[in-house]
Each structure stands twice: as structure tokens, then as C-alpha cells.
A and B are shown apart, each in its own frame.
Chain A
Amino acid sequence: MRYAFYFDQTRCMCCNACSVACKDWNQVNPGPVRWRKVETHELNDSFFPLAMSCNHCEEPACQAACTAGAIEKREDGVVYVDRDKCQGLQLCITACPFAEPRIADDKQEPDRKSSWIIPHPMQKCDMCVERIDKAQRPVCVAACPAHALDFGDYDLLLGRHPGAEPLNSTKYPYAYANNDTETGPSFLIKPRNPLTIIKAKQ
């Protein structure tokens, strides 16, 4: 079992429903930290929607970098952070190719939990473990009106979605905000169709 996300670049309309539903469900206040982020990337005269969260990698660079042992990977593939253990070293942030680990500020996270060592431990997507453990889909997937997001076992997703391919830094460099370390992201993607732009003459 390897839980993964599937993202259909031909269907995403960048509506941000996933991103807002995530904040709402996971009680992340308004502010710069968001666990799933939607962007339309501009590359080589084309435009590529991408809804990215933690990719729950097979070899999580964040986990390897964390000397506090705050990051763990479950049997089913979910990578999660035990916020009580986070010491704020921020090694995970530079290690993750996708810059997914996030730190809030006082405004976005005004209430500090007594069990935390530091005011704002790292946070990120946990694949909605509380939902998936009850056989519900992660809230971002459930919220997507374009059916551009899917969730399930990596191999089953590959079979279910013709044209899906593993995320990689050659074809999707814009996904790799930090570095292009190969970490085995559990993220399948169907690429956008080619676009022809007839440029305006000046």
C-alpha cells in the first residue's frame, strides 16, 4: 500500500477549492501557510496549473534531514509531523524539493499549544489521516469540482488514469521550488495538452 495523489493538469481550472477546503477542514487560519497551494506556472510560452501539497515521498528528504525525529512515515505511505517534537531547526524546509514544510507566524497561529516546544512547529499536509482512516477521501480531493484530483493507492491510480506519470523535475521543473533531489514523490500527474500561442504583433 502506497497512498498517493493524482493530479490532472488537463482538468484543473485553478479555482483553489482544494486549497481553501484544506484550510477550512484543517483549521489553518488565513495567512501565508497553506497545505495545498494552487498556481498557474508560466514556462516556455505555455501555462501549467498545479495544485501541490506534501507529496508523501517514498524517501522523504524532510524526514532524513530532521534531527529531532519529528517526521514519520506510516506503513501506508503518509508522511506526517509530530508537532510536539519539532524543535524549529527548519532543516526540513531546505531539504524538501518542493518547499512544502511550512512555519506560521503569530498572526496566523495565535494560540500556542502547551505540548509544543516552540511557538510555531512545522506543519504540512497529512493527507487528512483522520479522514482516510475512516475511508473518506482527503478533503482537497473531495472538494475538487473539476475532478482533477484523485487519491488512492499509487499503482491503482496509475491504472485508473491513462496518461498519468510520476512527477519529475525534467518535465515539471516548476514543481521543484527548492531542489531537484529524487525523493520518490507519491504524486502522479497527467500533463496539459500542447498549447499554441499566436502572439500579438506590436
Chain B
Amino acid sequence: MSDDHDDSPIAARVRELEAILEEKGLLDATELDRALEAFAHKATPANGFRVVARSWVDEEFKARLLENANEALPAVGLSMGGGLQVQRLRVVENTEKVHNVVVCTLCSCYPIALLGPSPTWYKSPAYRSKVVSHPREVLAQFGLELPADTEIRVWDANAESRYMVLPRRPGGTEQLSEEELATKVTRNGLIGTAAV
């Protein structure tokens, strides 16, 4: 029974508990919404763009990021602890020979703190089922045609870790500042459905 974990018993229990706490006046729904909005406000793909730009200009940062992303993030003022629990982040690097792409086949697990709310297609059954079995075709549908000898690595965020792709630095950007480099990155690049 692994099709969906949004509908797990714990999710239903949380919903029931929230309703009871509100009914008894122990929880202020507007306060809860305010806390969620504050988290969502800080959760934007611009965070991921900054992480990538820093990796492109700072080899030491990049090495730490790939080794232990959670420990590297504070150097750019970020963390994976913005939600209710600290999540383990794994950053996977694209190279000349390897392209990475991220999916959550069970629901829509995603590093919201770094990428913002996930796009609708990321949650669609079509993407979730097809990218694991036919990634090359799915990426082509996104307009990303990879050379035949590029190895594709699909990462299923099916458990506790969350993933972000580190795209390759585009050519002709040697003169750009870190801030300018950040503007070259796209959200899809961080998921792996775009080159950058």
C-alpha cells in the first residue's frame, strides 16, 4: 500500500487533532496560518539559486555541500530546519557525464525551504510514474535533450531525505558575479528537469 502517504493514518489523526484543539479554544487557527505563511514566505527557489551560485564560485563550499548539505547551508544563511523537523538534504551534482533528476514516487516530498512550493507537475501521477521508468523521454518533454552517453540518475525521495540538483555552470559566465550567476538558475534546474 505504497501509492500515497498523504493519506496515512497519521495525517488523518493530525487533521482530527487540529479540529479538536480549535474547538476547545487551545489552538488559534489564524495563528497557525500565520506561522505557515511565515514559513512559506521564506521558502522560495531564490534560496536554491543562491546555494548553486555559491557552489559555482567557491569550491570549498561546493565540496562541503556535496558531502553534508545540512552543515554547508548556514554559510549562506539557510537551513533545512524551517519546518517542523530538520530534514536531511542531499545535493547531487550534474557533470559532463552524469545528469540527476529528482522525484517522489509516493507523494510529493520536496525541499520546500530551498525550492519553494513544488510545481503541480511534480505532484502529478504522470511525472511520478514515468520519470523513474523513462527519464530520457520525460526530460525531452521538458525540452531537455541529453546526449546518448549521459548517464541519468533518478533519485526517489521516498523516505526521509530531500534532494536538490546542482546544475552545471553554463559556459560564458566566467565574468559574472555570484549574484548574477544566481539569476541564471531555474527551479526546474534544481529538480533536474532543466539543464540550469
| Chains A and B are bound partners | no
Residues of B within 8 A of A (CB): none
A residues lining the B interface (CB < 8 Å): none
